């Protein structure tokens, strides 16, 4: 899995204002109490902060994560839905941010958990 290396930047690395999501998708776990989030970013010259927030059908936050100065171009993490019986469908909103620029990209996806 490629990672940011300040001494040897990726050939196709872009400056902060051009960093974008290449892919964002969600995989529910079998028990529907958590979801696996997959993110792929354009290679970057400076590590961004990543923020992901999961909201339920009432627009209440049910999970979130903030990754400071992320070094991975392709990453996977798990969000635990709290409370576990939160009503769907859900919306995942993800942002790529830099402290000095603010948000440079954002993406939202809506999804339902499978009936269990």
- CATH assignment of the domain containing 42: 2.60.40.10
Per the prediction, the chain carries an average pLDDT of 94
State the total domains in the chain: 1
Assess if residue 105 is contained within a domain: no
Strand-strand pairing, 49-55 and 61-67: antiparallel
- For residue 3, what pLDDT band results from cuts at 50, 70 and 90? confident
Assess if residue 90 is contained within a domain: yes
Of the candidates 67, 40, 70, 41, which has an alpha carbon nearest to the alpha carbon of residue 52?
A: 67
Assess if residue 109 is contained within a domain: no
pLDDT tens by residue, 75-111: 999 999 999 889 999 999 999 999 999 999 999 999 9
Q: Give this prediction's pTM.
A: 0.92
Exposed, middle or buried: residue 67 (CB in 10 Å: 0-12, 13-18, 19+)?
middle
Check if the beta carbon of residue 86 is closer than 8 Å to that of residue 56.
yes
């Amino acid at each position: 899995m490629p990672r940011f290396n300040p001494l040897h930047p990726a050939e196709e690395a872009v400056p902060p204002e051009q960093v974008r999501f290449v892919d964002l998708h969600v995989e529910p776990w079998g028990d529907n109490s958590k979801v696996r989030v997959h993110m792929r970013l354009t290679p970057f010259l400076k590590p961004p902060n990543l923020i992901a927030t999961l909201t339920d059908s009432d627009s209440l936050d049910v999970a979130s994560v903030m990754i400071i100065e992320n070094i991975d171009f392709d990453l996977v993490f798990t969000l635990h839905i709290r409370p576990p019986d939160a009503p769907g469908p859900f919306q995942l909103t993800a942002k790529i941010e830099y402290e000095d620029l603010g948000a440079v990209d954002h993406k939202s996806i809506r999804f339902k958990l499978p009936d269990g």
